Amino acid sequence: MADIKAFSEHVIGNLEKVIVGKRQSIELIVIGLLCQGHVLIEDVPGVGKTMLARSLARSLDCTFNRIQFTPDMLPSDVTGVSIYNQQKNKFEFRPGPIIGQIILADEINRATPKTQAALLEAMEERQVTVDGTTHILPKPFMVMATQNPIEYEGTFPLPEAQLDRFLLRLRLGYPSMQDEIRVLDDQQIQHPFVALKSIVKLKEILQAVDDVKRIYISPAIKRYIVELTTRTRQSADVYLGASPRGSLSLARAGQARAALMGRDFVLPDDIQALAVAVLAHRIIVSPAARLSDLSSDRIIQEIVHAMPVPGGDFASEPERKNTK
């Protein structure tokens, strides 16, 4: 798995030229890329959400489209529309911005539920259907959505079906004082994004995505993952627990993190490190817990803390043979 680790470090290093002091958040973005999962970046304005998405797209040899969501946007503005060509005497499909490889869905919660629903098919089935015709989306395909959790006027909360399609939810947070001073220094003459180059070819991305799927997950780790998601459904603080898609997402994200760390097998540490980012946005906090200011992140943290950690040898058979 040295190739995936080198690939990941290459991308992370390039992103850190623009996004300062956010190594953990950048690693989650790269995990999302390796899993071909979608990422929701939820934070206050001005911390670099949009710049992170743009920097990832520029680092990769992929097409990039940005969708600036507004309340008056229609589903056809996202998916595309068929327009009648009088010269050819037939309808022609004009693709919308969702048909690309790296898609930035900026301020996604400003769109109406009808427009948000236009993303559901694309995010889950990697295709778009317009006027009865299905258009397959290119590979890789990744939606990076941003939303402001503070401002509620003119926004529409994402429905559970939409949230469940995001592999990860992350927050950047404010930089430390030293990092913010470095940001001032780096941008004194020009923004580092201007000099950012594409460093990864398309075939390298697809190869890394394919290799991640081969990371070994032991039966004990699989049981640990399922028990975690099951406890979210049994918790008294949770009105609606994580779906089986949550288990699948946690397993795949664990594979990507293991590869990023240079291992070809998943450890409990990988699952614990990703549980909040993968599961917290998939649960609905009960009204009583909400009155107690108990957040979904805190509930997942408590479930992880209370869960017994499995023991044993988690390495694959070839790994065990090599260590003998």
pLDDT on residue 133: 85
Contact at 8 Å (CB) between 250 and 166?
no
Q: Which domains does the chain have, with CATH numbers?
A: 1-214 (3.40.50.300), 215-313 (1.10.8.80)
pLDDT on residue 301: 93
Query: Model-level pTM?
Result: 0.88
- And the tokens for 184? 């001032």
pLDDT on residue 317: 57
- And the tokens for 76? 């056809």
pLDDT on residue 84: 83
pLDDT on residue 50: 84
Q: What is the DSSP string of 159-198?
A: PHHHHTTEEEEE---PPPHHHHHHHHHHTTTS-GGGG---
Measured between alpha carbons, how far is 59 from 128 in angstroms, rounded to an integer?
26
pLDDT on residue 160: 84
pLDDT on residue 156: 83
pLDDT on residue 1: 59
| Digitized pLDDT (tens) for each residue of the chain, 324 residues in all | 568 888 899 999 999 888 988 899 999 999 999 999 999 998 888 888 888 888 898 898 888 899 999 888 888 899 988 888 888 888 888 898 999 899 999 888 888 888 888 888 899 899 998 888 888 999 889 999 988 876 666 678 888 888 889 999 998 888 889 989 998 998 888 888 888 888 988 888 989 999 999 999 999 999 999 999 999 998 888 888 899 999 999 999 999 999 999 898 999 999 999 999 999 999 998 888 888 888 899 999 999 999 998 887 778 655 444 544
Query: For the segment 37-53, what is each residue's pLDDT rounded down to a tens digit?
Result: 999 998 888 888 888 88
Query: For the segment 190-249, what is each residue's pLDDT rounded down to a tens digit?
Result: 888 888 888 988 888 989 999 999 999 999 999 999 999 999 998 888 888 899 999 999
Measured between alpha carbons, how far is 284 from 282 in angstroms, rounded to an integer?
7
pLDDT on residue 323: 47
- And the tokens for 84? 């009648």
HEC secondary structure over 60-108: ECCCEEEEECCCCCCCHHHHEEEEEECCCCEEEEEECCCCCCEEEEECH
